């Protein structure tokens, strides 16, 4: 059994944040049907981005402005347990798909809304993307500090937090519904997420002293918790969590003299002389390759880790041993390696049912499930109400050259041809 087996999601999301919610629900076994306009989710333009947030889902393409579309969507919603959307506040209402309308179609629907700015307040109807919220919320200045320019977090921090909060909300609402029979409206937003991500510093009381540790190209918070570089140019992080580890660090580096140095006698003293200590440690580390430092430090009981790059991560023995990556044959992109399901359950398993779908790949399939006849579906297609992606030739039936063009290795081609 899958944790969310039998749960159907009508997925109106676009871009990263909303799609991330349904992505997590799909990983837990929900049947997610992504509903896109004829020109698709704009996020499709970023192939990796789309793939990383839409695998496992089915996709239908439909023109919601056509009158016939309304009936199809209503029929779909009537079969759904959840509806998820991240449009600007007000946009779903204009389509006749606001919570009040949807409840009339499906009285116990769980309606998850994830707008950028939240549904209330002066900006609720304004457009917003992750960095807009990074900017407003203090996150960019938190990273760059007060003296240096603000820094754009490369990870779309709020776009990634809101899905986890939204999926948490979805699971809670499902729990309520299974116990009471009632659905409800659930909301999170990029704005809420930005507050939750800063929960440790989004604090204010009389007399509080606020610190701004961020700065340009920051390498860590202090000399004993910081990135250092070896002679091979390899960077690694060293993190002494207590005095014992600080002593071990000095021993490993042959810097026992620092233990007798009054400037570094206590954590407070070390903080006071942080620049001097950083300089000493930087010089000391820059005597041996970083690749050697990491195991030396780890064996000595000093927490340390390589500052890994993406190429390294994709071959990382820990990831491989834990099967953290999945291999898929994507109908458009060929062989792909993507991240697998993250939370693990002892009695159940997550699932990734398929690669990210093509635009309208499952239109016919879903409409048939909703009870439409092939003739009706053809008529919808002719009238440009719905759109079906051209069927892709199964990979196993393609020629060797076609497969090579898609990036398949000889070994992969052989495996495909053997029907493996």
Residue whose C-alpha is closest to residue 7's, from 126, 117, 110: 110
Nearer to other proteins, 161 or 367 (CB): 161
Shortest approach of other proteins to residue 105 CB, angstroms? Answer: 17
Distance CA 6, CA 11 (A): 15
309: its two tokens: 């790059």
Distance CA 4, CA 80 (A): 13
Torsion, Cα of 350, 351, 356, 362 (10° steps): -130
Shortest approach of other proteins to residue 273 CB, angstroms? Answer: 20
Shortest approach of other proteins to residue 14 CB, angstroms? Answer: 9
Shortest approach of other proteins to residue 390 CB, angstroms? Answer: 19
Residue 372 to residues 56, 65, 72, 74, 360, Cα–Cα distance (Å): 24, 20, 9, 13, 16
Nearer to other proteins, 13 or 188 (CB): 188
Distance CA 244, CA 331 (A): 55
Distance CA 358, CA 331 (A): 8
Shortest approach of other proteins to residue 104 CB, angstroms? Answer: 15
Q: In this structure, are residues 72 and 386 in contact, taking their beta carbons and an 8 Å threshold?
A: yes
Nearer to other proteins, 127 or 394 (CB): 127
Nearer to other proteins, 36 or 72 (CB): 36
Shortest approach of other proteins to residue 209 CB, angstroms? Answer: 10
Nearer to other proteins, 143 or 363 (CB): 143
Distance CA 294, CA 215 (A): 26
Nearer to other proteins, 262 or 321 (CB): 321
Nearer to other proteins, 137 or 388 (CB): 137
Q: How far is CA 107 from the centre of its chain?
A: 31
Shortest approach of other proteins to residue 231 CB, angstroms? Answer: 15
390: its two tokens: 């051209």
- Residue 104 parent element (H or E): helix 99-105
């Amino acid at each position: 059994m899958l944790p969310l087996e039998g749960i159907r999601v009508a997925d109106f999301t676009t871009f990263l944040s909303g799609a991330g919610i349904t992505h997590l629900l799909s990983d837990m076994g929900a049947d997610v049907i992504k509903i896109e306009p004829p020109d698709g989710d704009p996020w499709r333009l970023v192939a990796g981005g789309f793939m990383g947030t839409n695998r496992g889902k089915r996709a239908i393409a439909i023109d919601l402005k056509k009158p016939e579309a309304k009936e199809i969507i209503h029929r779909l919603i009537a079969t759904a347990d959840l509806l998820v959307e991240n449009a600007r506040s007000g946009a779903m209402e204009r389509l006749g798909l606001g919570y009040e309308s949807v409840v009339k179609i499906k009285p116990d629907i769980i309606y998850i809304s994830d707008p950028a700015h939240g549904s209330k307040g002066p900006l609720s109807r304004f457009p917003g993307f992750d960095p807009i919220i990074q900017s407003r919320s203090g996150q960019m200045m938190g990273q760059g500090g007060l003296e240096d320019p603000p820094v754009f977090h490369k990870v779309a921090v709020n776009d990634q937090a809101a899905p986890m909060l939204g999926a948490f909300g979805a699971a809670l609402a499902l729990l309520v519904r299974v116990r009471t029979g009632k659905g409800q409206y659930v909301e999170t937003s990029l704005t809420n997420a930005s507050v939750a991500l800063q929960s440790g510093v989004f604090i204010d009381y009389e007399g509080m002293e606020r610190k701004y540790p961020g700065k340009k190209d920051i390498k860590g918070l202090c000399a004993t918790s910081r990135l250092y570089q070896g002679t091979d140019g390899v960077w690694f992080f060293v993190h002494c969590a207590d005095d014992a580890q600080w002593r071990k660090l000095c021993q490993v580096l042959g810097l026992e003299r620092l233990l007798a140095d009054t400037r570094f006698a206590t954590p407070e003293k070390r903080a006071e002389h942080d620049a001097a200590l950083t300089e000493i440690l930087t010089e000391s580390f820059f005597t041996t390759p970083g690749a050697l430092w990491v195991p030396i430090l780890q064996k000595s009981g000093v927490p340390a880790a390589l500052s890994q790059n993406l190429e390294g991560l994709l071959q990382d023995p820990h990831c491989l041993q834990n099967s953290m990556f999945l291999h898929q044959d994507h109908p458009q992109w060929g062989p792909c390696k993507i991240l697998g399901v993250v939370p693990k359950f002892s009695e159940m398993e997550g699932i990734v049912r398929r690669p990210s779908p093509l635009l309208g790949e499952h239109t016919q399939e879903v409409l048939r499930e909703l009870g439409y006849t092939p003739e009706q579906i053809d008529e919808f297609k002719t009238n440009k109400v719905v759109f079906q992606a051209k069927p892709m030739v199964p990979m196993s039936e393609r020629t060797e050259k076609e497969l090579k063009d898609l990036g398949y290795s000889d070994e992969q081609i052989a495996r495909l041809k053997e029907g493996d």
